Chains A and B, each alone.
Chain A
Amino acid sequence: MKSRSCMAVAGFVVTLAFLFPMYAFGAKDKVVIGHPACLSGKYAKAGEQAVGGIKACIDWVNNVHGGVTVDGKKVPLDYKYYDCESKKEGVTSFIERLITVNKVNVVFSAYSSGLTLAGAPVAERYGMVYMDHGGASDRIFQQGFKYIVQTIGPGSKYHEGTLDMIHHIDPKVKKVALAYEDSEFARMTMGGAEKHAKALGFEVVFKRTYPKGVTDLTPLLSDLKTKKPDIVIGGGHYEDGQLFTRQMSDLGIQVKALSLVASVTLPSYYEALGGRLAEGVMGPSHWEYGVTYSAAGAKKEGLDWIGPSQDEFVALFKKAVGKDMIPEYHAAEAGAQVLAYVKAVEMADSIGQDKVRAALGKLKFMSFYGGWDVDDTGMQIGHSMIDMQWQEDGKRVIVWPPEAATGKPIYPKPAF
């Protein structure tokens, strides 16, 4: 018994240690962004990207934009982040510390819907604007939180464009299989995809989920194979996407189109599959290197433009992470969020939380990341998804929507 109450005591002491009062001096001559980043643990990959993207855009704001204009004065942006280890305790305690000790002016969420939800009540309690660039679940915005604003698009829309595209190219194809990871986010995507597929007249011949962290998908894919689908859509996070593709090829499942969320758009996906297996596979994405959003395009749509051009962003990102690495959408959405915040502060001409939140609600603009606009609950509605496809020699081609496309889709996809 002692062992257990010992553990209880131990648990509290750890909690207490986190709550330990710690003092620092928050200078008021700068605007500070706080971020419980996921630098280790299961979301380390996305966390590294986000930190790089945020640093890149802060660099731009301070050195090109000249700082944030508040009360007619240009003030530099600063960035304070901790490593939450992809854990909910880390998120809540670090957000608390960022607000009370570091006196930050805005908090950015960690990664994933769960961790974003974990931080929301804390931000809400302190009346702090909480910007979400990593939690795609629609349900976050159905809880009545007042201070949360989303930059990443809602999960339910991920595969709609893919289905539109296939329907557009080959209206005769009917049989679609859905196989998603059993997680909050992927289920949201699956629900959206199923609804949209039925609306377009597809026949859903297979619909299953697989648990997070699974290391062998053979049973599920064998089952899928017997349903003989024409197209397969699914996925969830990173490793399962590689596994999914690899084992489809192992089982010799040949389809006309394969599209997986999250993993496909990463260069590591192509490398891990030795290139050939990745060819023709598609993935929806919020942003990809090569999209054609520009100041001129923004003008045409009557939207304000702010921030670096795509190439400038990439250069700043490389400088921020100190590696020759092309940013992925996690970096772009975190970076765009910095721009959204700057824009809102300048619009409100204040760093007061309620004023900034109100300004974010009204804000509508375009950056290298694309459009940005939120509805009343704070959910992102102004950003549209794109679809990318791996083509010959590891080329990443944006194939949908036509206005953002950099090339034609390969359809049907080459056999494994």
Chain B
Amino acid sequence: MGMTGYVDFGYVTFIALGAYGMSLGITYFYQVEGLGIWIVFIGFLLALLLASLSALLEAFIALRLRGAYFAIACIGINEGLRHFIEGAKLWGGSEGLIFSGSLIQAVGRETANQLTTFWADLAVFIIAALAAFLNIHYMRSKIGYALTAVKEDEDAAKVMGVNTTKYKTIAFLTSGLLGASVGAVAWGLKLGYVFPGDVFVIHYTVECIVVVLLGGAGTLLGPVVGGLIYGLSKYWLAIIWPGFQLLIFAPIIIIIIVLFPEGVVGMLKNRVRGTALERYLL
């Protein structure tokens, strides 16, 4: 899926580190006089920093491993990191960091309320828009072609003079930074706490992959359509039959995959191939 064809099971690691960055920023800086609301930005920067480091690490692995091996290595990093934080009692260990109180102390109750709800949600929208924009931008630029080449045949791409190392690193950094931003805002700021066992959860990545595949990988509309199908149907099933939504949901996913192995958008794309509509579906 995607352009490089690398399945990144470690995506959740970026989100988790983002949440940790935000939590660390607020926990360790809230008592510093005069910082006020800036601690949130410090947290955000820490989030980006931590994620960049791990993105570089993953990019380094991606240079050596492919396919399922790469996916499993990413799982390894994620689980290893989680248990290391717990085992070495780093950053509060398994007790995690709870910073709602610190945030309230630093910026006041009203501002804290606004930050954790309105501004956090708004930031998520902005990051989403940014992600979509970058997606289109990369797809239409040289980077997109280079990455597609990597996906089709990495060795051939290399021989043809594509600097695969450079483009892979760009790809991982972008994804790491986006992931960390989401984590810092949606899992950090919005929730007010972080426990290692709660954030380093591979299951979330699997869910994202499900969404992308449902919609159709390698298309722009794919994730959107997949997300809508996945999110809405699960949400409504949970409302209509609380407790039974997954029982109904699982066969639906299976049926969709069997009927449309290329995803819903992929299927539509094949239908409209050659017509004017094709352009809009990318």
Which of chain A's residues 1-49 have a Cβ closer than 8 Å to chain B? Answer: 1-20, 37, 39-40
- CA distance in complex: A209, B4 (Å): 42
Which of chain B's residues 83-110 have a Cβ closer than 8 Å to chain A? Answer: 83, 86, 93-96, 98, 100-101, 104-105, 109
- Assess the A120–B197 pair: CB atoms within 8 A: no
Residues of A contacting B224 in the complex (Cβ-Cβ under 8 angstroms) = 9, 13
Choose from A5, A14, A117 the contact partner of B193 (Cβ within 8 Å). Answer: A117
- CA distance in complex: A13, B228 (Å): 6
- Assess the A125–B116 pair: CB atoms within 8 A: yes
- CA distance in complex: A267, B205 (Å): 36
Residues of A contacting B217 in the complex (Cβ-Cβ under 8 angstroms) = 3, 6
- Assess the A4–B8 pair: CB atoms within 8 A: yes
- Assess the A7–B243 pair: CB atoms within 8 A: no
Given A143-B104, A211-B86, CB of A17 within 8 Å of CB of B113: no
- CA distance in complex: A211, B109 (Å): 35
B interface: dominant SS: helix
- Assess the A184–B95 pair: CB atoms within 8 A: yes
Residues of A contacting B20 in the complex (Cβ-Cβ under 8 angstroms) = none
Assess whether B80 is interfacial by the CB under 8 Å rule: no
- CA distance in complex: A85, B228 (Å): 19
Assess whether A182 is interfacial by the CB under 8 Å rule: yes
- CA distance in complex: A114, B120 (Å): 19
Chain A contributes a number of interface residues (CB within 8 A of B) equal to: 53
The listed residue with most B CB atoms (<10 A of its CB), out of A88, A117, A121, A209, is: A121
- Assess the B231–A39 pair: CB atoms within 8 A: no
Assess whether A82 is interfacial by the CB under 8 Å rule: yes
Choose from A18, A122, A211 the contact partner of B231 (Cβ within 8 Å). Answer: A18
Task: Flag the segment in B33-41, B126-134, B254-262, B270-278 that touches A.
Answer: B126-134
Choose from B2, B98, B182 the contact partner of A11 (Cβ within 8 Å). Answer: B182
Assess whether A312 is interfacial by the CB under 8 Å rule: no
Which of chain B's residues 205-224 have a Cβ closer than 8 Å to chain A? Answer: 205, 207-209, 211-212, 215, 217-218, 222-224
Given A7-B209, A14-B230, A114-B198, CB of A1 within 8 Å of CB of B238: no
Choose from A9, A37, A183 the contact partner of B242 (Cβ within 8 Å). Answer: A37
The size bracket of the interface on B is 35 or more
- CA distance in complex: A6, B212 (Å): 7
In the complex formed, the residue of B with least CB distance to A83 is B242
Assess whether B186 is interfacial by the CB under 8 Å rule: yes
Choose from B132, B138, B198, B242 the contact partner of A88 (Cβ within 8 Å). Answer: B198
In the complex formed, the residue of B with least CB distance to A126 is B117
Residues of B contacting A212 in the complex (Cβ-Cβ under 8 angstroms) = 94, 197
Residues of A contacting B147 in the complex (Cβ-Cβ under 8 angstroms) = 1-2
- Assess the A1–B239 pair: CB atoms within 8 A: no
Residues of A contacting B4 in the complex (Cβ-Cβ under 8 angstroms) = 1-3
In the complex, per-residue mask of B155-171: 1 if CB is within 8 Å of any chain A CB, else 0: 00000000000010011
- Assess the B132–A121 pair: CB atoms within 8 A: no
Assess whether B269 is interfacial by the CB under 8 Å rule: no
Which of chain A's residues 184-226 have a Cβ closer than 8 Å to chain B? Answer: 184, 187, 209, 211-212
- CA distance in complex: A187, B207 (Å): 31
Pick 8 A–B contacts, CB within 8 A, sort by A: A1-B138, A2-B147, A10-B208, A11-B182, A13-B228, A83-B238, A88-B187, A93-B235
Which 6 A-B pairs rank lowest in CB-CB distance, beginning with the nearest? A3-B2, A13-B227, A4-B175, A1-B171, A17-B231, A39-B243
Given contact pairs A10-B227, A125-B116, a sample of 10 additional A-B residue pairs in the complex whose CB atoms are under 8 Å apart: A3-B3, A4-B178, A5-B174, A7-B11, A7-B208, A9-B223, A13-B228, A117-B193, A125-B117, A209-B94
